[in-house]
């Protein structure tokens, strides 16, 4: 029986293999064929029968009591997050929403941010990303998946100097996000692809670590601006289960802030760059009319200015004519 049909049993087995007899307070019995605690030892320490525990681990009993689960959590040294995961696995399966589209309001919020930002679901699929997020990491594009990139793409691995720590965190986050919904088609597709393509993913997945994602610094080695440390924050999107807005932001005045500004300047849209470098319209008009002469100036200034200029020329002609007549009269005298 595989993990997709017996997630509770797979979790119990993985976690008991991580607890040594010494940690459980048992005497050292010499060399063991398998790591960790035996099934009968877990049962004894939890105060339940070995047969009952065997049925739990093999998926023959799917309804253990809260007291039994808490006892198992104590024996297996589970922290709060792992115990909550154990409780969720023991509950009846509840159908969840499948892949979804990003709400327009969330897209508007993401687009208004000056920091790198993107929308992800519980499988770490990217639903949308702003320009600066894509400049920070080519993998942050609609349709991408962060887990796939981290484990299967060498360029993305090079982007993360702390790759081993980051991969541990992401796998534990996926465990918690999916919970008991291990029959989800997207979950099966993703974990199957990663298990085939990455030995490290197989090792981490087999440990059944569970961890919620918290805001924390992340170190990146960008090919253009070098190393920068950013804070990774996540905001839950209301009304969209499992959807989160992720924002990378630097500390104020930090070296990373300057590098992020440099990246942002390189991602300006072409029309914005052209607008920023174009001379003001008034200056352009002045330069054009100065080069073309008075007639062009009158034309550039519009119909009213052109009529005014024509009036001035007519008045000047009248004055010249009057001056000519006066000079002729003086000559005749």
Asked whether residue 175 carries a pLDDT value surpassing 60, the answer given is yes
Go through the chain and tell me how many residues it has: 333
Asked whether residue 300 carries a pLDDT value surpassing 60, the answer given is no
Question: Over the chain, what is the mean pLDDT?
Answer: 78
The tokens for 230 are 């950013």
The Cα 106–Cα 88 span in angstroms is 29
Contact 159, 221 (CB under 8 A): yes
Tens of pLDDT, residues 18-40? 988 888 888 876 777 778 898 99
Provide mean pLDDT across the span 306-328.
47
pTM, to two decimals = 0.59
Tens of pLDDT, residues 39-94? 998 988 888 888 889 988 888 876 787 778 888 988 999 887 888 888 888 875 44
- Name the pLDDT band for 4 (thresholds 50, 70, 90): low
% of the chain surpassing 90 pLDDT: 36
Tens of pLDDT, residues 112-171? 999 999 999 989 999 999 999 999 998 999 989 999 999 999 999 999 999 999 999 999
The Cα 117–Cα 132 span in angstroms is 7
Task: Catalogue the E-assigned strands of 70-215.
Answer: 117-120, 126-129
With a CB cutoff of 8 Å and minimum separation 6, the contacts of 317 are: none
So what's the pLDDT on residue 306? 43
Greater pLDDT, 105 or 311: 105
In the sheet with 226-236, reading across from the earlier edge strand, the strands are 126-129, 117-120, 244-249, 226-236, 216-222
So what's the pLDDT on residue 313? 47
Quick one: 15 exposed, middle or buried, by C-beta within 10 A (0-12, 13-18, 19+)?
buried
Quick one: 81 exposed, middle or buried, by C-beta within 10 A (0-12, 13-18, 19+)?
middle
The tokens for 160 are 């993360």
């Amino acid at each position: 029986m595989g993990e997709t049909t017996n997630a509770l049993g797979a979790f119990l087995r993985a976690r008991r293999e991580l607890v040594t007899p010494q940690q459980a307070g048992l005497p050292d019995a010499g060399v063991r064929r398998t790591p960790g605690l035996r099934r009968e030892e877990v049962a004894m320490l939890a105060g339940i029968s070995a047969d009952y525990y065997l049925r739990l681990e093999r998926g023959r009993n799917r309804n253990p009591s809260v007291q039994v689960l808490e006892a198992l959590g104590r024996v297996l040294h589970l922290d709060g997050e792992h115990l909550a995961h154990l409780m969720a696995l023991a509950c009846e399966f509840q159908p969840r929403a499948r892949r979804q589209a990003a709400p327009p309001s969330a897209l508007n919020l993401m687009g208004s941010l000056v920091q790198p930002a993107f929308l992800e679901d519980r499988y770490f699929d990217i639903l949308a990303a702003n320009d600066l997020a894509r400049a920070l990491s080519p993998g942050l594009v609609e349709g991408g998946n962060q887990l796939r990139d981290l484990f299967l793409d060498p360029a993305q691995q090079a982007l993360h100097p702390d790759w081993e720590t980051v991969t541990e965190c992401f796998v534990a986050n996926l465990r918690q996000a999916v919970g008991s919904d291990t029959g989800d088609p997207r979950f099966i597709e993703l974990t199957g692809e990663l298990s085939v393509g990455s030995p490290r993913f197989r090792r981490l997945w087999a440990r059944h670590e569970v961890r919620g994602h918290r805001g924390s610094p992340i170190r990146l080695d960008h090919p253009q601006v070098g190393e920068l440390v950013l804070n990774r924050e996540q905001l839950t999107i209301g009304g969209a289960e499992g959807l989160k807005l992720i924002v990378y932001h630097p500390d104020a005045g930090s070296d990373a802030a300057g590098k992020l500004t440099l990246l942002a300047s390189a991602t300006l849209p072409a029309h914005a760059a052209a607008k920023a470098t174009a001379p003001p319209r008034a200056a352009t008009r002045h330069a054009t009319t100065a080069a073309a002469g008075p007639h062009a100036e009158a034309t550039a200034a519009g119909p009213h200015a052109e009529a005014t200029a024509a009036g001035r020329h007519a008045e000047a002609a009248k004055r010249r004519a009057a001056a000519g007549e006066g000079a002729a009269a003086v000559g005749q005298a």
